[in-house]
């Protein structure tokens, strides 16, 4: 191994400049410096692509799963509201028909304080003896913020014959669910 003629630092084989003092150590005709061979790693592009593809698939699956879950919950809550309005209509007609036990279940589908609902429901028990729901359907559900509406179409039979109930009922969003806002209406 040779040393630099300017600073006496060790030189790499075939060096044209001293790395310590930055002075040329070769004749002026050759200004290129050739050092030791350096190993260059290109890497593994397929592994990188596989990792990126895997991350994208995982992100896509998580997004799809989240959207599917929210859609399922939304559909399930809409279906629950429709079922509760059907049940609330039936409970109120049963109460009018004389079934006092219907009032004990009213708090599960009607909005308001349970004791108020039961008291208002008890006030209509027997108002229309023999009244019963023949068929009930609920559609045109509109849930906006804390208020909503649903269209109820019911066929009711009583001592005087068969009647059709066709009205829009108000809905109130409670803690975690929607309830039919009956508020003592006697139209059912």
Q: pTM for the complete prediction?
A: 0.56
Q: Which ranges in 24-113 belong to alpha helices (H)? A: 45-96, 102-105
Model confidence over 25-42: pLDDT tens digits? 876 654 555 666 766 666
pLDDT of residue 162: 92
pLDDT of residue 144: 81
Cα–Cα distances in Å, from 40 out to 37, 71, 175, 176? 9, 52, 64, 62
Q: Which fold has domain 72-180?
A: Nuclear Transport Factor 2; Chain: A, (3.10.450)
pLDDT of residue 43: 63
158 forms beta bridges with 161
pLDDT of residue 75: 45
Q: How many CA atoms lie within 13 A of 31 on its CB side?
A: 1
R_g of the chain computed on alpha carbons = 41
pLDDT of residue 71: 47
pLDDT of residue 70: 52
Domain ranges of the chain: 72-180
164 Rama sector, left if φ>0, alpha if ψ -120 to 50, beta otherwise: beta
pLDDT of residue 186: 47
Low-confidence residues of the chain: pLDDT under 70 = 1, 27-36, 38-44, 65-76, 182-188
Angle of helix 114-124 versus helix 45-96 axis, rounded to 10: 40
């Amino acid at each position: 191994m040779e040393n630099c003629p300017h600073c006496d630092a060790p030189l790499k084989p075939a060096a044209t400049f001293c790395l310590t003092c930055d002075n040329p150590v070769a004749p002026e005709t050759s200004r290129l410096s050739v050092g030791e061979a350096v190993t260059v790693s290109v890497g593994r592009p397929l592994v990188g692509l596989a990792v990126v593809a895997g991350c994208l698939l995982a992100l896509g699956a998580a997004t799809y799963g989240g959207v599917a879950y929210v859609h399922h919950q939304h559909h399930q809550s809409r279906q629950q509201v429709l079922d509760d309005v059907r049940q609330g209509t039936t409970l109120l007609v049963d109460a009018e028909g004389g079934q006092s036990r219907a009032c004990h279940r009213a708090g599960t589908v009607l909005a308001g304080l349970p004791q108020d609902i039961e008291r208002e429901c008890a006030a209509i028990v027997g108002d229309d003896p023999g009244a019963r729901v023949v068929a009930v359907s609920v559609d045109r559900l509109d849930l906006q913020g804390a208020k909503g509406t649903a269209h109820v179409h019911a066929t009711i039979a009583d001592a005087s014959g068969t009647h059709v109930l066709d009205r829009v009922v108000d809905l109130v969003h409670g803690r975690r669910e929607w309830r039919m806002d009956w508020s003592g209406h006697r139209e059912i």
